[in-house]
Chain A
């Protein structure tokens, strides 16, 4: 009798577990770097964790797995592995993974593939969507702040690579600087790496030696080297991707946020609900509620009041679409851009 009831209990448990597993949503996340890098990769991960919480509140269990720090050549194998094991949604959160994303979407029509930034091809399969944020908007506002905060009239932008998704950020920043004060001098330095913090530090020091007192650090993990240089030389720096004020409280003016995580959360929730429209590009900007600025509270006394006011106005204008910041993808595009076309 005991045996029978134990058996029945076990059988029920197995049935329940497999039923639960059948209802379980499996999501895979493949970023460029580490999920705890306080920068680009962590941003997306936090968004997905958020989606997990939201889904749990409504009764759906979401299993979230990730594979970090993969070189582009191994990503497709990873994504295929997830897809072939029945993962429902695969999120490739790195601008260099386009081919892997498209190929996996084509090979596994039942898997929903979402990918960050626009892929080079224009035709994509019905189970593929890309999401992107108008990064140049946040950088524009930051450029305005930088242009008005600099006391010596020189700023420097330090970025990793000059491919389009990165250049649009730098050019947006420079547009903002020009918009705020055409007399401010600026420079662009590309260091060619995401992780070499010592190189970023040297680039920052070179900029300081050239006279700049406000820097833009758009170099993912390596930015910490730039922060180190800024703190040692009492100059200010604009951070990117995440609120990094705690990393260098005396130097960081604030952080440009893109809210990719929030967008990814929406994408996942919409994917689950079947609300993603086929062929639609989910390119969002501040006017749609994505993107912002994380101020450094310690800077309240440092930033001149007029600068802060102008910055707030610009931010509001972008949000209300009164200013449309263009996506300039080549280094140098911002130099000759006609600023009068910015205001609608």
Chain B
């Protein structure tokens, strides 16, 4: 599909190809073939997946709900990947954002909602950005591989969250922290469901990121450095500063995802907050060819796949591991098709 040897102009690499859609269809067909020996009708399975993700107010709200954090982590990934920095620490940065949101959400001062929520959001952004600043710093000054550092930071974030839940913020009954103040709860935007305002914030951020990358000096610098850092330096760009900034912005946006999970859904810090939102975000970003506007579409797709497959499992009665196999297979097919190439 993509011939790596020819010198293709930069823009065509980010062009959306029809490939992914075709691959998805083929993958579903193949997965369906595997279903037949179990006596399950693959068409009804697909129907269940679609119904389960879009077929009711509840289903749609759950799909958009899952889409919110993965869209934000995808945007975070896009910013850093476009700068040539492989930040795979969005999950950990999300946790730090969540931790900050909870900490601020306890509302020791007694702020009203319209002040507390922005404070929590900003705090989450700063916390996520700070967590990302560490691998950025280590990369710039020590040339430490940011992939490994961010992976390790993911684990450290998890451990930190677990420590806070069982220690200083313990609620006394189960592995969950004490609740935050009711002033720190994001409004629900679709009545009858759980969809909260961070969904709209995520869409807005997508627009902002697109704008930033395409129309601002910073965005231009990020893209150029991502293509050829040497040329950027020769052109006089402050390479280290831009790299650092892209990392921090990336972490901050991932932190916003954590804010949304806390203020919108949980209102406390639970154990196991993120079922891998950070990594799903990377898949979303790659599927969208690192384009922020297209990532809205790919986030919707992956969210629908996730929620729909779970709903299908409940309707058909297959084991949960079945869903993992199907999802894993489809994503592997997408990866293997070359639709998710980075370059």
Contacts and interface: CB of A to CB of B under 8 A. Distances in A.
A264 B268 CA distance: 28
Contacts of B173: 95, 98, 117-120, 163-165
B52 to A, nearest CB: 7
Interface in A41-79: 65, 67-74, 76-78
B308 to A, nearest CB: 11
Contacts of A329: 172
B307 interface: yes
A163 B174 contact: yes
Given A96-B174, A120-B174, A73 B272 contact: yes
Contacts of B57: 84
Contact of B320 (A65, A67, A73): A67
A68 B272 contact: no
A70 B311 CA distance: 13
Interface string A152-171: 00000000011111000000
Contact of A81 (B59, B171, B268): B59
Given A117-B173, A162-B166, A163-B166, A80 B314 contact: no
Contacts of A67: 310, 313-314, 320
Contacts of A164: 172-174
Contact of B176 (A70, A77, A80, A99): A99
A162 B179 CA distance: 20
A311 interface: no
B240 interface: no
A40 interface: no
Interface in A179-204: none
A98 B176 CA distance: 9
A128 interface: no
Contacts of A81: 52, 58-59, 62, 310-311, 314
Contacts, number: 86
Chain B interface size, as a band, is: 35 or more
B32 interface: no
B304 interface: no
A161 B171 contact: no
B319 A68 contact: yes
Contacts of B58: 80-81, 84
Nearest to A68: B320
B6 interface: no
B90 to A, nearest CB: 16
B183 interface: no
B70 to A, nearest CB: 13
A94 to B, nearest CB: 9
Contact of A95 (B65, B174, B273, B319): B174
Given A98-B174, A120-B171, A76 B274 contact: no
B174 A65 contact: no
B4 interface: no
Nearest to A83: B58
Interface centre among B175, B310, B313 (most CB of A within 10 A): B175
A82 interface: yes
B310 A163 contact: no
Contacts of A65: 314, 317
Nearest to A330: B172
Contacts of A73: 270, 272-275
B327 interface: no
Nearest to B265: A76
B175 A96 contact: yes
A106 to B, nearest CB: 11
Contact of B310 (A78, A98, A120, A162): A78
A215 to B, nearest CB: 24
Contacts of A98: 173-174, 176
A77 B307 contact: yes
Interface string A96-110: 101100010001000
A55 to B, nearest CB: 20
A98 B174 CA distance: 8
B271 A96 contact: yes
A117 B174 contact: yes
A164 B171 CA distance: 10
A328 B59 CA distance: 42
B317 to A, nearest CB: 7
A162 B170 CA distance: 12
Nearest to B66: A77
A80 B174 contact: no
A329 to B, nearest CB: 8
B194 interface: yes
Nearest to B56: A84
B139 interface: no
12 contacts: A68-B320, A74-B275, A80-B62, A81-B311, A95-B173, A96-B176, A99-B266, A99-B270, A117-B174, A119-B173, A120-B179, A161-B175
Interface of A: 65, 67-74, 76-78, 80-82, 84, 95-96, 98-99, 103, 107, 117-120, 161-165, 329
Please provide the 7 A-B residue pairs with the shortest distance between their CB atoms, ordered closest to farther: A84-B58, A120-B173, A71-B272, A120-B171, A77-B62, A72-B272, A95-B174
Given A78-B314, A96-B271, A107-B194, 16 more contacts: A65-B314, A71-B275, A72-B271, A73-B272, A76-B194, A81-B59, A84-B57, A96-B270, A98-B176, A99-B176, A120-B171, A120-B174, A120-B179, A161-B175, A163-B166, A163-B173
